[in-house]
Amino acid sequence: MPYREDEIRQIVRRVVLRTLGVADGHHPRRPLVTAEDVSRAEPGTEMKLPSESLVTPLARQIAMERGVTLAPAASDAPAVQPAPAQGEVVAIGCDHGGFEMKEDLKSYLVELGYRPLDCGTHSQESVDYPDFAFAVARQVADGTAFRGIVIDGAGIGSCMAANKVPGVRAAMCYDQATATNSREHNDANVLTLGAGLIGRNLARQIVKTWLKTDFGGGRHARRVNKIMEIERRYLRNR
């Protein structure tokens, strides 16, 4: 027997809420902003969100693609850290597979007003990605750079390597939605990219979104603190 449209919407709502980590029964009156809602907004406009609304990841992605600004109600605006000043240092490194993308992103960082710190590699000769992931992560952990970017073929190995450095929260991102989430929810300070998975234009969009997105604070700060406490607890018990 086919489902009615209102039944389908309820099923979708429950799935989305579970994906967002929210129990439907606990927030029965919270409005859900979907991709369909954002698609109805005029490109380049500001979309006022209802109080305490939940925005799906796909809705955020479509908003970025259409240039729609999602504006929360004033009382719901998250407590965020100040945006980094223009001219901040961004450490950037790669293996041979990410060399061409690194060179392009270096010039793009300058366009955005940042100062790239090139940690290598400097050619397409075969090298080992952990060396360069560590070089970038160390600059961030030491405070020389406020953020770091590492590029290899898939972005996975560099993410693993960078996360071994204390104080680093590396995130592999493959679209603007994951870039936003890694900053808003996880306060990621190192971004890893897979040059074999994404193209030049998408890489630029991800980098811009990742650098310009503030940490959301609030409940996310509590969770990030728990991530860092795992690291501290492990180091204390060594």
The residues, any chain, with a CB within 8 Å of residue 181's CB and separated by 6 or more, are 57
32-33 and 54-55: which strand pairing?
parallel
The residues, any chain, with a CB within 8 Å of residue 54's CB and separated by 6 or more, are 16, 17, 20, 22, 27, 30, 31, 32, 33
Q: Please compute Rg for the chain using Cα positions.
A: 19
The token pair at 225 is: 């603190």
Which of the residues 96, 122, 185, 220 is marked catalytic? Answer: 185
Q: What is the pLDDT of residues 33-62, one digit of tens each?
A: 887 888 888 887 878 877 666 777 667 767
Where are the chain's structural domains? 5-76, 89-219
Q: State the pLDDT at residue 71.
A: 73
Q: What is the pLDDT of residues 198-227, one digit of tens each?
A: 999 999 999 999 999 999 999 999 999 999
Q: State the pLDDT at residue 59.
A: 75
Q: Answer for the pair 178, 171: CB distance below 8 angstroms, yes or no.
A: yes
In the structure, what pLDDT confidence band is assigned to residue 181 with cuts at 50, 70 and 90? very high
Q: State the pLDDT at residue 38.
A: 80
pTM of the model: 0.69
**Residue 32 clears pLDDT 80, i.e. is over it:** no
Cβ-count burial 87-116 (b if 16+ within 10 Å, e if not)? eebbbbbbbbbbbebbebbbebbeeeebeb
Q: State the pLDDT at residue 45.
A: 80
Q: Which ranges in 80-218 belong to alpha helices (H)?
A: 99-112, 129-141, 156-162, 176-184, 200-212
User: Which helix (H) or strand (E) element contains residue 36?
Assistant: helix 35-39
**Residue 81 clears pLDDT 70, i.e. is over it:** no
Architecture of the 89-219 domain: 3-Layer(aba) Sandwich (3.40)
Query: In angstroms, rounded to a whole number, what is the distance separating the alpha carbons of residues 9 and 31?
Result: 13
Q: State the pLDDT at residue 48.
A: 80
26: annotated active-site residue? no
The token pair at 116 is: 């790239």
Query: In angstroms, rounded to a whole number, what is the distance separating the alpha carbons of residues 212 and 15?
Result: 29
Q: What is the pLDDT of residues 122-154, one digit of tens each?
A: 999 999 999 999 999 999 999 999 999 999 999
Q: What is the mean pLDDT of the chain?
A: 84
